[in-house]
Copies of this chain bind each other. A is one copy, B any other.
Amino acid sequence: MMDRLLRRCRIKSSLFRECLAEFFGVYVLILFGCGSVAQVTTSQNTNGEYLSINLGFALGTTFGIYVAKGVSGAHLNPAVSLTLCVLGRFSWTCLPFYVCSQLLGAFLAAATVALQYYDAIMDFTGGHLTVSGATATAGIFSTYPADYLSLWGGVVDQIIGTAALLVCVLALGDPHNTPAPPGLEPVLVGAAVLVIGISMGSNSGYAINPARDFGPRLFSYIAGWGDDVFRAGHGWWWIPVFVTCVGALLGALLYELLIGVHHPDSEPEDAEDLKAVHQQTVELDGMQPQFDTVKENGKHGIFSITSADIG
Does any Cβ of B come within 8 Å of A260's Cβ? Answer: yes
With a cutoff of 8 Å between Cβ atoms, the chain B residues found around residue A164 in the complex are 28, 31-32
Specify which of B172, B181, B199, B255 is in contact with A181 (CB 8 Å cutoff): B181
Does any Cβ of B come within 8 Å of A10's Cβ? Answer: yes
- A168 nearest CB neighbor, chain B only: B63
- A11 nearest CB neighbor, chain B only: B262
With a cutoff of 8 Å between Cβ atoms, the chain B residues found around residue A150 in the complex are 119
Does any Cβ of B come within 8 Å of A223's Cβ? Answer: no
With a cutoff of 8 Å between Cβ atoms, the chain B residues found around residue A88 in the complex are 1-3
Closest chain-B Cβ to A188's Cβ sits at a distance in Å of 8
A117 close to B186 (CB less than 8 A): no
Interface residues of A in 172-229 (CB under 8 A from B): 172, 174, 176-188, 191-192, 194-196, 198-203
A177 close to B67 (CB less than 8 A): yes
Q: Given that A71-B262, A202-B43 are contacting pairs, would A183 and B194 also be in contact in the complex, using a CB cutoff of 8 Å? A: no
Closest chain-B Cβ to A304's Cβ sits at a distance in Å of 13
Closest chain-B Cβ to A47's Cβ sits at a distance in Å of 5
- A249 nearest CB neighbor, chain B only: B2
Q: Measured between alpha carbons, how far is A20 from B70 in the docked complex, in Å?
A: 33
B67 close to A167 (CB less than 8 A): yes
Q: Measured between alpha carbons, how far is A262 from B21 in the docked complex, in Å?
A: 10
With a cutoff of 8 Å between Cβ atoms, the chain B residues found around residue A183 in the complex are 178-181, 184
B6 close to A70 (CB less than 8 A): no
Specify which of B20, B56, B117, B172 is in contact with A203 (CB 8 Å cutoff): B117
B172 close to A56 (CB less than 8 A): no
A198 close to B6 (CB less than 8 A): no
Closest chain-B Cβ to A64's Cβ sits at a distance in Å of 9
Specify which of B9, B157, B167 is in contact with A116 (CB 8 Å cutoff): B157
Q: Given that A148-B123, A172-B66, A262-B20 are contacting pairs, would A60 and B199 also be in contact in the complex, using a CB cutoff of 8 Å? A: yes
Q: Which 3 A-B pairs have the closest CB atoms?
A: A35-B199, A70-B177, A123-B148
Question: Can you show 13 pairs from A to B with CB atoms below 8 A apart?
Answer: A3-B308, A3-B311, A6-B257, A21-B258, A21-B259, A31-B199, A42-B202, A48-B202, A50-B52, A60-B199, A116-B160, A119-B146, A119-B149
